[in-house]
A and B are shown apart, each in its own frame.
Chain A
Amino acid sequence: MRMPAFVRLTVRNIVVNIDPGTLIFMLGLPTLYLFVMGFMFQGINPNGGLVVQYHGIAIKYTTFLAPGIIALQAFTAGNIGGSMLWSDRRWGMFEQIMVGPFRRSEYLLGIIFVSIIFALVGSAIMIGFAFTIPVRFNITLAGIGLFILTMVVGTMLFSSIFLIISGIAKSMQAYNTITILLFFLLDFASTAFYPITNSTPGWLHVIAGGNPLSFISDILRESFISGVDYNSLYYSGILFVAMLIFFVLSLRVYKNIRSGI
């Protein structure tokens, strides 16, 4: 049976990237967030645990946190995807693949696919962990559908962002610095860990509100907690458009990548 070129490249990307470092980054870190932050914040209010107002309902903080941690998987997987292009350029494999039986577009598909696979597998594992905390999810078919769709679109958005950085970064230091900055900015100035409330300062409100990670977190909360409605579809639409814009930008950067660094 013949495997299409992009599938072969996807398999290669998975084999090359399944190493302890990547696994810790992809699963270890969010697991730590989930358990440590979940329980620590829970402890802020010793009697009865921390309760968060969400869409007018009071829910346990852990229930609020879990979809945020799942959303993080889109960011992490997109980051791993972008880093693949970076390290393939760094270690001469980009050129080697480009002189092999592949097209440029197939290489790109290979990266996007592996990111999506990592995101879906990672978030499935996080959902599993979340249930041990435990959380109170309201699982519906529409919710699962929206969850998968959001993870795919979100991962493609972050892959595109990191592909752009990989494509233009001239040195390892530059790439790492930008990645780490983005990591902190997008992770912590988002609604992944805490809700935006009336007491949130205006500037943070703007950053967190425009942060794609907030969009993904909020859509996932609707998928798992409050239920899919018109509102969630509206946010998904915005996420999708943002993804398209960054995807087209990343294609342009990608097309112009010259061999070598």
Chain B
Amino acid sequence: MDYLHEDQYEVVVENVKKSYDGKKLALDGISFHIKKGEIYGLLGKNGAGKSTTIKILTTLINFDSGNCNIAGYDLRKDSSKIRKIIGVVQQEESFDFTTVEKNFKLTGMLWEVPKNIREERMEKLIDLFGLQEIRKKRMYDLSGGQKKRVQVAREFMHEMKVLFLDEPTVGLDPIMRRKILQYIREQAKNGLTILFTTQNLEEADMICDRIGIIDGGKIVEEGTSEELKFKFGTLRTVKITTQTNVEKYINDIKEKIKTVNYEDISFDENKILILGKNVDRRVGDVLGSLYEMGIEVENVSIENPTLDDVFMRVVER
């Protein structure tokens, strides 16, 4: 019954609980589903349970109760089959104590990638992840960000159905971060299903199809980034600049736009500031009213909420 939508979902997590010490729950009944080709972002503060979730789904640690299914395989029964179809970039650094190139080659060999494909893929990834200059260097001579790049790139040496990325962009410069996210996006377009954890909200906003906010070991909010912003949007400000001084129309304007449900309005010569929840979606009404009163509008701007606002509100309430 749990897997009613078995073919629709590539990753099914249902009511999973996990305690490391038998007392405190690291995961407290977490549930979420990921469709094939979807990028699902797990967003949460330190200790929320992101890595624990990934370690469980990648068969590294056991869980106490609940159900998990990956690409049709039950996590409890078919863990070795699951390991053959997933890719994992763990949060902690991980590399073979040798050169960058050998790290790629060894990954290809361990995954039985045919030799010619191995070489070709390695060249492509080295180019794409900007590793050309350091390809002959030993891993321990690299900077933190360079190591991370190798760690992420290396995982694309082999085929997989589901990819788990635990904070893969920590320590990367903005250009590289963007490049890598773009590459990940492309892979999802080709059908790869991705679970992505991050604390960087901007990043989640950029590449995730859906986001689950995890707190205290369970999903407390879920939706597309737009949905979340809409639901938890903070007060927004609409700023209107007019050609004429509006101070003498104050009472008329207030009366006319009563229905907008603003929380505060202020006037300053030829500027009107309207503050309220979702007031941005009523801009049309406001402009219509001003037009009726013969007030010419020069400029309108809206301050949008960010995913940060959503995150702060959700995890701090």
CB closest residue in chain A, given B139: A91
The reply to whether B83 and A259 form a contact with Cβ atoms under 8 Å apart is no
- B residues in contact with A252, CB < 8 Å: none
Judge if A101 is at the interface, Cβ distance under 8 Å. Answer: yes
Tell me, in angstroms, the Cα distance from A102 to B102 when the chains sit together: 20
- A residues in contact with B92, CB < 8 Å: 92, 95, 260
Judge if A99 is at the interface, Cβ distance under 8 Å. Answer: yes
- B residues in contact with A258, CB < 8 Å: 61
Judge if A87 is at the interface, Cβ distance under 8 Å. Answer: yes
The reply to whether B94 and A16 form a contact with Cβ atoms under 8 Å apart is no
The reply to whether B111 and A100 form a contact with Cβ atoms under 8 Å apart is yes
Tell me, in angstroms, the Cα distance from A208 to B88 when the chains sit together: 48
The reply to whether A15 and B97 form a contact with Cβ atoms under 8 Å apart is no
- B residues in contact with A124, CB < 8 Å: none
Instruction: Give chain B nearest CB distance to A170 CB in angstroms.
Output: 16
CB closest residue in chain B, given A258: B61
Tell me, in angstroms, the Cα distance from A95 to B58 when the chains sit together: 10
Judge if A11 is at the interface, Cβ distance under 8 Å. Answer: yes
The reply to whether B95 and A259 form a contact with Cβ atoms under 8 Å apart is no
The reply to whether B93 and A92 form a contact with Cβ atoms under 8 Å apart is yes
Instruction: Give chain A nearest CB distance to B195 CB in angstroms.
Output: 13
Give the most central of A12, A99, A260: most B CB within 10 Å: A99
User: Which single member of B61, B97, B110 contacts A91 (CB below 8 Å)?
Assistant: B97
User: CB-CB contacts of B81-93 with A at 8 A, as 1s and 0s?
Assistant: 0011010101011
**Number of B residues, CB within 8 Å of A:** 24
**Number of A residues, CB within 8 Å of B:** 25
Tell me, in angstroms, the Cα distance from A91 to B151 when the chains sit together: 12
User: CB-CB contacts of B108-135 with A at 8 A, as 1s and 0s?
Assistant: 0111100000000000000000000000
User: Which single member of A2, A97, A98, A99 contacts B112 (CB below 8 Å)?
Assistant: A2
The reply to whether B80 and A103 form a contact with Cβ atoms under 8 Å apart is yes
Judge if A53 is at the interface, Cβ distance under 8 Å. Answer: no
Instruction: Give chain A nearest CB distance to B45 CB in angstroms.
Output: 21
User: Which single member of A91, A101, A260 contacts B111 (CB below 8 Å)?
Assistant: A101
Tell me, in angstroms, the Cα distance from A97 to B155 when the chains sit together: 12
Judge if A9 is at the interface, Cβ distance under 8 Å. Answer: yes
The reply to whether A91 and B60 form a contact with Cβ atoms under 8 Å apart is no
Instruction: Give chain A nearest CB distance to B75 CB in angstroms.
Output: 12
* Residues in chain B within 8 A of chain A (CB atoms): 55, 58-61, 80, 83-84, 86, 88, 90, 92-98, 102, 106, 109-112
* Residues in chain A within 8 A of chain B (CB atoms): 2-3, 8-9, 11-12, 15-16, 19, 87, 91-93, 95-103, 258-260
8 pairs, A vs B, C-beta closer than 8 Å: A16-B102, A19-B97, A91-B93, A99-B83, A99-B90, A101-B112, A102-B110, A260-B92
